Amino acid sequence: MPESITEAQLGFALKLLQSQYCNEKSVVFSPVSIAIGIATVYLGAKGDTEKQIRNVLAEGFEPSDILSYFSKLMEHIKKEYGVKMPSSEPNPNDEDAITKRKLELCCLSDCNPTSECVLETFNRAYVNDDIKLKDEFVKKFDEYFVDGIEQVNFGKAVEVVEVC
């Protein structure tokens, strides 16, 4: 068993990379992004599904430790590799501020001219507006994944694209 969640994540990444090897064809994906996506699903999982996901992400570790790990990992990525701008992070409920932030990120060379590496993470979940989310899930999501949940009507594709 791994001694740390970081070690468990290394094992996850290596297994994932090995599983994608296919006849010398190039495959590009991010094990970290996939693990973060799985961690967001883990928030709402119960019973056998919860145990299976925990075993994939970090077998033997407490759920709160696993979720804290991913929350801190995203904070670290934003702090160390994200765009360095004078403006603060937008309020997750302020759509205008979020849109402005996205536009600023389009101009990376102007915003972050001294960095050779820029890595941004966005972990907002878009859920169809006819789905009732449990309050406990929304609270956990807001606690661990800062960008929040937004309910949209996927039947109105043009409006959804503007939101995203």
CA distance from start to end of the chain: 40
**pTM metric for this prediction:** 0.68
Q: Give the Cα-Cα-Cα angle 48, 6, 92 (nearest 5 degrees).
A: 75
Query: Which of helix, strand or coil describes residue 125?
Result: strand
What would the pLDDT profile of 112-140 be if each residue is shown by its tens digit? 555 555 666 667 788 888 999 999 888 88
Of residues 56 and 24, more confidently modeled: 56
State the average pLDDT for the chain.
80
Strand partners, 128: 152
Separation CA 82–CA 75 (nearest Å): 10
